A and B are shown apart, each in its own frame.
Chain A
């Protein structure tokens, strides 16, 4: 079985500050890991993905995430928050089936950017 835990349903940071969204996973097989972003009234878009190549993954809009097997974590970071980063963020793990059919999503973290 696989699962994803996102710590903090809401995270608030000031514009220009570091963004850190936490994700821990459990998987019975080496995982593939994803971060998706959902802007208001839109569907989800892929931010970045880890597929067993480099452990530090760079995504769109200046986001990156680091896979740490020893900590079973895949935290999302961005050095300097922008107002346009306000959105819902979902971490997801693909284990069983390794495909989209085996994708499990976390409950989401709402990122709030304070001016």
Chain B
């Protein structure tokens, strides 16, 4: 089954404790992206990757890091989480084309930073 898998589904942590949210896709997609979803703000892009070893900032990259060492994996790293990073995070992937490609989303990771 084609899917984007995020782990963990829920995460509670404390300020300053490094964490990683994993994302993996089994569709051989070149493009992957991370979004955060906040009430009243919709989805905002954090980082995206057009291919292996190619990453770029989205709209709200501050406080986040990503890496793309393999095509299927695109982990999101919070080196020193802060309470304002409490949010619902989504990973997504697609096959780049002419702009009409469909984004496949993971089920989300609800992060709470205390």
Chain A residues with a Cβ under 8 A of chain B: 6, 9, 32, 36, 41-46, 49, 51, 90, 94, 97-103, 105-108
Q: Which residues of A contact B81 (CB under 8 A)?
A: none
A-B contact count (CB 8 A): 68
B101 within 8 A of A: yes
Q: Which residues of B contact A106 (CB under 8 A)?
A: 42
| B: interface residue count bin | 20 to 34
Contact across chains for B96 and A43 when beta carbons are under 8 A apart: no
| B residues in contact (CB < 8 Å) with A | 4, 31, 33, 35, 40-45, 48, 50, 56, 90, 92, 94, 96-103, 105-108
- Which residue of A is nearest B110, CB measured? A41
Contact B99 A43 (CB under 8 A): no
